[in-house]
């Protein structure tokens, strides 16, 4: 991968060896680790900015805590690459996010140091609290620390966990990796000095002794408690966490290894819930990432010397189609608003947020709030669009049903990353949205087969006076030009794309969204009828019943879980017939699909043209053999 040498990094294959290093060598180790991380991700792509900011913190945590016996829980996985490198996986980094290689996020099956599998944000405090309570119940002296990013602190789940933890006496350390704030004078020498004092044994013992003495004098103790709280509040933003029941320390410079280590050592031995506020810089040590942390948050391959991206500009993506559509709609209707749960860049909303800031709402990592906010807006005459990844919509399922669908409110869900997402793996795959959407009354669900159809469906959904979802895959489509017509599609009407030339018309392929291309290619070899279903719900029953009359085999093909997917609605309809045709439902199998190249993963699931052909031929051959067998028996 690289000819560079890393003497210290090479000498510590696991944290056991790291803990043997003298403290004065740790800064050099941090430099080597940061350099290796840049070189490694430049070859594979991946999440870079946040990891560059956690290099010193990762070293300090493994240096102070006896991992993996002590539990270290990372929130999301973006900041955990240095952790992977230090925990026996450095040689495997060239396989990062590739099929059969290292996952892009912590994964329990991958290493004992990955104590909790993650992908979505704001789970670390809940999981770590569970581990701390488990240790307490088993009489273990194990230490448990959760590292949560500041973005993840915008989610309600994090505060639910903080609220619960503060009411318990479990030994839990929560570390806020605050990587959005530049390191200001407040986080310089004075703040570091205060952190050492506030976390030191002398202060702790005096504080506890004072409680015992002043506890007998309620008014005096209350005065002392308030004085301490207000004094700390003058220099640190910790009042909120203190009120939740945590002992708050910080903020401290997350790139100052001596301060990190001494503070962590002090806090490691404290009893009860502890909160450490650490300030780091995204992209630390790599100028392009420091200057543009969003670009290098999740980046493709790049030149490690200058940060120049190596990926060539390709065809327009579905995400870009959505972004352009947003701007077009906002210019025509002031009631039009768009909401995102902290995914402005990922959902293609940058231009929209800049051109129409009054119609743009980023709610932070708060998917539940995003959906109910949209419902409230729709109640009073607005036309909200919720831009959300399929996997993140799962978090707001209750709100989708109770707050939107039951009230039949006109909220449009633009669902990005539907289907497999490739390198990001099962935590980010949109494998289930058709299954959990098509069972909800009042929902209209559409799946575009190309870029132009995506634009048309978004417009159709905006005109519909009820809840509607348009789900589209990650990346580019087949390259169809977008015609920006203001004409809604007929609701629930499929499109016949190919008619079989055979008189018996044995096979009809019912393709949903991204599967139309593979289905059309397979149909040419099979001489099969092809229908672009367009609408998952409402189902075009007239089309399906006509196909059932004219064909002996219907095949539904979707990039969604087979169980409960679009094909299940077709199956329900066919089961109502006296003599239904044979039906094959093709989709994602009943197991989680690991990370890798998206096209290769689809092929492994039989969702390419060859897989479709093979499945159909196998069925027809078996049917012919069965018929012959019955004839012989007769």
For residue 118, the model assigns a pLDDT of: 86
Q: Are 454 and 321 in contact (CB under 8 A)?
A: yes
In angstroms, the CA 289 to CA 271 distance is 38
Residue 469: φ, ψ to 5°: -130, 135
Longest dimension (CA), the chain: 100
Tell me the Ramachandran region of residue 531: left when phi exceeds 0, alpha when psi lies from -120 to 50, beta otherwise. beta
Which pLDDT value is given to residue 218? 47
Cα–Cα distance, 248 to 470 (Å, whole number): 45
Identify whether the C-beta of residue 147 lies closer than 8 Å to the C-beta of residue 175.
yes
Looking only at the bridges linking them, the beta strands covering 495-498 and 529-532 are antiparallel
Helical ranges in 236-317 per DSSP H: 239-243, 257-268, 287-291
282 is catalytic: yes
Active-site residue 367, yes or no? yes
C-alpha span between 180 and 129 (Å, rounded): 25
pLDDT of residue 315: 80
SS3 551: coil
Q: Classify 170 as helix, strand or coil.
A: coil
- Predicted confidence (pLDDT) per residue in 574-591, tens digit: 999 998 999 999 999 999
Residues in the chain: 634
Q: Which of 34, 383, 395, 474 is catalytic?
A: 395
Instruction: Give, in order, the Cα–Cα distances in Å from 508 to each of 41, 527, 547, 588, 590.
Output: 45, 9, 7, 20, 24
Q: Which residues contact 618 (CB under 8 A, 6 or more apart)?
A: none
Active-site choice (34, 89, 282, 537) = 282
* DSSP letters spanning 30-61: HHHHHHHHHHHHHHH-EE-HHHHHTHHHHHHH
495: left (phi over 0), alpha (psi -120 to 50) or beta: beta
Low-confidence ranges of the chain (pLDDT < 70): 1-3, 150, 180-237, 311-314, 625-634
Strands 71-74 vs 529-532: parallel, antiparallel or unpaired: unpaired
DSSP strand E in 204-266: where?
247-253
Q: 32, 56, 242, 367: which is the annotated catalytic residue?
A: 367
Q: Per DSSP, which regions of 3-126 are E strands?
A: 46-47, 71-74
User: Which pLDDT score, from 0 to 100, does residue 184 have?
Assistant: 36
Which residue from 421, 615, 446, 436 is spatially nearest to 518, judged by alpha carbons? 615
Sign of the torsion formed by the C-alpha atoms of 326, 327, 331 and 332? negative
CB-based contact 260:56 (threshold 8 Å): yes
Give per-residue pLDDT as tens, 277-300: 999 988 898 888 888 888 888 888
């Amino acid at each position: 991968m690289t000819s560079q040498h890393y003497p210290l990094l090479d000498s510590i294959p696991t944290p056991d060896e790291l803990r043997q290093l003298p403290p004065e060598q740790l800064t050099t180790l941090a430099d080597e680790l940061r350099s290796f991380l840049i070189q490694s991700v430049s070859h594979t792509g991946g999440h870079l900015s946040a990891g560059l900011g956690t290099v010193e913190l990762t070293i300090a945590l493994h240096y102070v805590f006896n991992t993996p016996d002590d539990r270290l829980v990372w929130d999301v996985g973006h900041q955990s690459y240095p952790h992977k490198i230090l925990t026996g996986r450095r040689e495997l980094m060239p396989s990062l996010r590739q099929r059969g290689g290292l996952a892009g996020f912590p994964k329990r099956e991958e290493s004992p140091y990955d104590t909790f599998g993650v992908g979505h944000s704001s789970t670390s405090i809940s999981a770590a609290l569970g581990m701390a309570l488990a240790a307490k119940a088993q009489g273990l002296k194990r230490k448990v620390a959760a590292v949560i990013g500041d973005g993840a602190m915008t989610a309600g789940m994090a505060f639910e966990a903080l609220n619960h933890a503060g009411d318990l006496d479990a030994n839990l350390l929560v570390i806020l990796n605050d990587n959005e704030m530049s390191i200001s004078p407040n986080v310089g020498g004075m703040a570091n000095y205060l952190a050492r004092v506030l976390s030191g044994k002398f202060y702790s013992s005096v504080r506890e002794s004072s409680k015992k003495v002043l506890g007998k004098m309620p008014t005096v103790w209350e005065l002392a408690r308030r004085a301490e709280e207000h004094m700390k509040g003058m220099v640190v933003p910790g009042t909120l966490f203190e009120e939740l029941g945590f002992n708050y320390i910080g903020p401290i410079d997350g790139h100052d290894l001596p301060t990190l280590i001494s503070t962590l050592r002090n806090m490691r031995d404290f009893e009860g819930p502890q909160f450490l506020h650490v300030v780091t810089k995204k992209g630390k040590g790599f100028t392009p990432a420091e200057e543009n942390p969003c670009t290098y948050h999740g980046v493709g391959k790049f030149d490690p010397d200058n940060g120049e991206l190596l990926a060539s500009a390709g065809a327009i993506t579905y995400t870009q189609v959505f972004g352009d559509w947003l701007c077009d709609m906002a210019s025509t209707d002031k009631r039009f608003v768009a909401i995102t749960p902290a995914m402005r860049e990922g959902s293609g909303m940058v231009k929209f947020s800049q051109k129409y800031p009054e119609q743009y709402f980023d709610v932070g990592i708060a998917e539940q709030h995003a959906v109910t906010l949209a419902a409230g807006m729709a109640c009073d005459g607005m036309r909200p669009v919720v831009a959300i990844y399929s996997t993140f919509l799962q978090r707001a399922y209750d709100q989708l049903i109770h707050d939107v669908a039951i009230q039949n409110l006109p909220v449009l869900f633009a669902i990005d990353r539907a289907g497999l997402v490739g390198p990001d793996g099962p935590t980010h795959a949109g494998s289930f949205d058709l299954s959990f959407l098509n069972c909800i009354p009042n929902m209209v669900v559409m799946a575009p087969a190309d870029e132009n159809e995506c634009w048309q469906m978004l417009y159709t959904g905006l005109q519909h006076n009820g809840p509607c979802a348009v789900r589209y895959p990650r990346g580019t489509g087949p390259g169809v030009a977008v015609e920006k017509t203001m004409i809604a599609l007929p609701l629930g009407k499929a499109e016949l794309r190919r008619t079989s030339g055979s008189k018996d018309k044995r096979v009809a392929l019912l393709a949903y969204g991204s599967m139309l291309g593979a289905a059309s290619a397979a149909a040419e070899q099979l001489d099969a009828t092809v229908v672009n279903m367009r609408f998952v719900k409402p189902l075009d029953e007239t089309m399906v019943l006509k196909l059932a009359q004219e064909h002996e085999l219907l095949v539904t093909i979707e990039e969604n879980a087979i169980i409960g997917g679009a094909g299940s609605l077709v199956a329900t309809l066919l089961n109502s017939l006296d003599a239904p045709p044979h039906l094959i439902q093709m989709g994602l199998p009943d197991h989680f699909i690991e990370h890798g190249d998206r096209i290769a993963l689809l092929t492994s699931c039989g969702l390419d043209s060859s897989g479709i052909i093979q499945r159909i031929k196998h069925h027809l051959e078996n049917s012919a053999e069965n018929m012959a067998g019955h004839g012989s028996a007769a």
